[in-house]
Structure 1
Amino acid sequence: MFKKLIAALLSLSVLTLNACGTPGPKYRNVRSYSEGLAPVQTQGGRWGFVNERQEWVIQPKFEDAGEFQGGKAAVRQNGKWGFINKRGEWL
């Protein structure tokens, strides 16, 4: 009886997960949130920044990106490193 209950619960779990229909990971990499934003790498390889609701604040256009510290983050674009502010503007 116990084995049947476990099997039924396991089947229900698998059906529930399959019903969600999630295609897989949304991002390739996610770094730590700092100052309300997190650097996120898309499946295409570009980095941008999302807020805590996972909304894009700075679109993914960078080759690499670090966390914000003191209102600025280091990013690499066209092979060169520089700093941006929280609006994505170069400093």
Structure 2
Amino acid sequence: MNAPEYLHDLEQAFRKAEDPERAEQMTAYTRGQYEYYGIMAKPRTDMIRAHVRDHGLPADPVEVVELCWERPQREWQYVGMELSE
């Protein structure tokens, strides 16, 4: 499974949990440096853990982390950090 395939279900979960109002607040808090889905830490961490439980760790973690870092939403960078631990 390549990196986009590995992240597909997690992306769907993020889109479902997206909170545009909170995303706007989070973007303002970082002075526009990042875009956000507006997902708070606890729900995001729960989604990441459920994803790893269901799909295991990626076959090529470096490729997945690099893809996470390329995406505009800050939550993806958090995914990359979680998967790197």
TM-score, L = length of structure 2: 0.23
* Higher strand proportion (structure 1 or 2): 1
- Structure with higher Rg: it is 1
The one of the two structures with greater contact order (alpha-carbon pairs below 8 A, sep at least 6) is 2
TM-score, L = length of structure 1: 0.22
* Higher helix proportion (structure 1 or 2): 2
